[in-house]
Amino acid sequence: MRTRPLKVALLGCGVVGSEVARIMTTHADDLTARIGAPVELAGVAVRRPSKVREGIDPALVTTDATALLKRGDIDVVIEVIGGIEPARTLITTAFENGASVVSANKALLAQDGAALHAAAEQHGLDLYYEAAVAGAIPLVRPMRESLAGDKINRVMGIVNGTTNFILDKMDSTGAGYQEALDEATALGYAEADPTADVEGYDAAAKAAILAGIAFHTRVRLDDVYREGMTEVSAADFASAKRMGCTIKLLAILERAADGESVTARVHPAMIPLSHPLASVREAYNAVFVEAEAAGRLMFYGPGAGGSPTASAVLGDLVAVCRNKLAEATGPGESAYTQLPVSPMGDVVTRYHISLDVADKPGVLAQVATTFAEHGVSIDTVRQQGKDGEASLVVVTHRAPDAALSGTVEALRKLDTVRGVASIMRVEGE
Ligand code: HSE
């Protein structure tokens, strides 16, 4: 056992960083035994040094993160600041100064993962980021390492806890979006500005990271098609219930049938209640992975929060420290397939469309003709009429998204269609 400690610099000491520091202290002996050398918290870079941080020696606290990284004896940097800058510059500085990096920064990895991986490789160092996707759930390492001998064809997951909490409330109580969001905010699940969660940006960043790992190709945030869930209504849930479905905000990553391209998307969708993801309640995350040899795997657990995210950070810390002692590195970026990312219009999916129409002869035929003209085959139609008006619910067979959205546009233009009450993709069948 080596007695000289591995020195760790912690960048950021908020909800996650303070938990990382606490566990590093309270579990120091176990971490030493697992790594084969002691780990020492050598410095903590923060923005507000005057804040009281229980359990952290004030002498370790600094506002000068760059000086901490440049002092020359740091072995591992833990970055839990989040956002693009200064995190990007600090991670680059860490590599330039010989430190491996453990990061929880999904936005940065989704935007600049390739450059950061290249910098790590250039300096013979590690970049680990289990905590960037789905908090405590072991997902990055199983996909990068345990499934490295398999071929992943599809990943479908709930990777945002805030929106899952809101949708679950809407489903279980019949509440509208705003009412459920207010409850999520009151309980601390949603931030004061919930845009990143409810508009799907957070899930899209995680989707980009997972797609890159799953398909061994580069998928950037801009490649991910994104729709938020603010338009999902109580009426959509009522429609979903009639179909034996619920509604989830899903990240879906697929390899095309010919294997020549991939797609990555985040949007709300109906899924059957029999699908394992339908039973993911409250703020939990779950990711369903379909691999050629392994079959279907589901990863489930808490996707956010200080302690769960710290668990993922510390797992990476142990791995990176072990690699340091072995004078080795773990897996870097694997982007050898260089598959193009196809646009949303090429994605093959199904639509559930609810229309308000005039209840008179020929309307159903006119609607059916519009579907046929766009090459979209109808699976089921349900009509309910009242006082010369009718509501028409059409569920399609699978078709390219461009054909399905083209059909909806054409339906909107029909005189007999008073309005399109709801459009929702149907997944997971
Ligand atoms: N805001 C995220 C969520 C957690 O609600 O899942 C951090 O990615």
* Among 23, 102, 14, 15, residue whose Cα is nearest residue 55: 23
Q: How far is the CA of 307 from the centre of ligand 1 (A)?
A: 13
Tokens representing 377?
């085959």
Name the packing angle between helices 363-373 and 401-413 (round to 10°): 150
Q: Amino acid identity of 25?
A: T
Domain assignment present for 331: no
239, 268, 301 - which closes a domain: 301
Which atom of ligand 1 lies nearest, measured to the CA of 197? 1
Q: CATH number, domain at 356?
A: 3.30.70.260
Q: Helix, strand or coil for residue 370?
A: helix
Would you place residue 388 in the very low, low, confident or very high pLDDT band (cuts 50, 70, 90)? Answer: confident
- By the 8 A CB rule, do 87 and 11 touch? yes
Task: Give the C-alpha separation, 84 to 106, whole Å.
Answer: 10
User: Both 45 and 181 in a single domain?
Assistant: no
- φ/ψ bin of 82: left (φ > 0), alpha (ψ from -120 to 50), beta (otherwise): left
Would you place residue 49 in the very low, low, confident or very high pLDDT band (cuts 50, 70, 90)? Answer: confident
Would you place residue 270 in the very low, low, confident or very high pLDDT band (cuts 50, 70, 90)? Answer: very high
The pLDDT of residue 181 = 97
User: Both 25 and 109 in a single domain?
Assistant: yes
User: Both 196 and 296 in a single domain?
Assistant: yes
Query: Which mutation among 103, 105, 160 tests ligand 1's pocket best, with the greatest number of atoms within 8 A of CB?
Result: 160
Q: How many domains does the chain have?
A: 3
- By the 8 A CB rule, do 350 and 397 touch? yes
Q: Which residues contact 404 (CB under 8 A, 6 or more apart)?
A: 349, 350, 351, 374, 376, 396
Q: How far is the CA of 159 from the centre of ligand 1 (A)?
A: 8
Domain assignment present for 337: no
Would you place residue 237 in the very low, low, confident or very high pLDDT band (cuts 50, 70, 90)? Answer: very high
User: Both 278 and 360 in a single domain?
Assistant: no
Nearest CA to ligand 1 atom 4: 304
Query: Which mutation among 197, 249, 284 tests ligand 1's pocket best, with the greatest number of atoms within 8 A of CB?
Result: 197
Annotated active-site positions, please?
206
pTM, rounded to two decimals? 0.96
Q: CATH number, domain at 209?
A: 3.30.360.10
Domain assignment present for 263: yes
* Whether residue 164 has pLDDT greater than 80: yes
Domain assignment present for 191: yes
Tokens representing 315?
């797992």
Which atom of ligand 1 lies nearest, measured to the CA of 106? 8
User: Both 161 and 113 in a single domain?
Assistant: no
Domain assignment present for 1: no
Task: Give the C-alpha separation, 157 to 170, whole Å.
Answer: 19
The pLDDT of residue 203 = 98
Domain assignment present for 114: yes
User: Both 373 and 266 in a single domain?
Assistant: no
The pLDDT of residue 429 = 79
Average pLDDT over residues 3-18: 95
Q: How far is the CA of 305 from the centre of ligand 1 (A)?
A: 8
User: Both 203 and 295 in a single domain?
Assistant: yes
User: Both 157 and 250 in a single domain?
Assistant: yes
In this structure, the chain runs to a length of: 429
The pLDDT of residue 2 = 79
Nearest CA to ligand 1 atom 7: 304
260, 290, 325 - which closes a domain: 325
Query: Which mutation among 162, 199, 229, 307 tests ligand 1's pocket best, with the greatest number of atoms within 8 A of CB?
Result: 162
Average pLDDT over residues 366-380: 97
Would you place residue 327 in the very low, low, confident or very high pLDDT band (cuts 50, 70, 90)? Answer: very high
Phi, psi of 231 (to 5 degrees): -90, -5
Q: CATH number, domain at 113?
A: 3.40.50.720
Q: How far is the CA of 44 from the centre of ligand 1 (A)?
A: 24
User: Both 218 and 123 in a single domain?
Assistant: no
The pLDDT of residue 111 = 96
Range of the domain at 394: 344-426
pLDDT tens column, 283-297: 999 999 999 999 999
Average pLDDT over residues 158-169: 98
Domain assignment present for 338: no
* Among 298, 296, 325, 215, residue whose Cα is nearest residue 260: 215
Nearest CA to ligand 1 atom 2: 160
The pLDDT of residue 25 = 95
301, 335, 353 - which closes a domain: 301
User: Both 95 and 151 in a single domain?
Assistant: no
Which atom of ligand 1 lies nearest, measured to the CA of 160? 6
The pLDDT of residue 401 = 98
The whole-angstrom distance between residue 338's C-alpha and the CA centroid of its chain comes to 22
User: Both 113 and 14 in a single domain?
Assistant: yes
Q: How far is CA 337 from CA 171, 256, 264, in A?
A: 40, 13, 16
Domain assignment present for 216: yes
Q: How far is the CA of 161 from the centre of ligand 1 (A)?
A: 6
Task: Give the C-alpha separation, 266 to 261, whole Å.
Answer: 17
Average pLDDT over residues 398-406: 98
Q: Which residues line ligand 1 (CB under 6 A)?
A: 160-162, 197, 202, 303-304
Q: How far is the CA of 319 from the centre of ligand 1 (A)?
A: 24
Task: Give the C-alpha separation, 14 to 35, whole Å.
Answer: 25
User: Both 112 and 224 in a single domain?
Assistant: no
Would you place residue 24 in the very low, low, confident or very high pLDDT band (cuts 50, 70, 90)? Answer: very high
Q: Are strands 378-386 and 417-426 parallel, antiparallel or unpaired?
A: unpaired
Q: What is the mean pLDDT of the chain?
A: 96
Q: How far is the CA of 59 from the centre of ligand 1 (A)?
A: 32
The pLDDT of residue 53 = 84
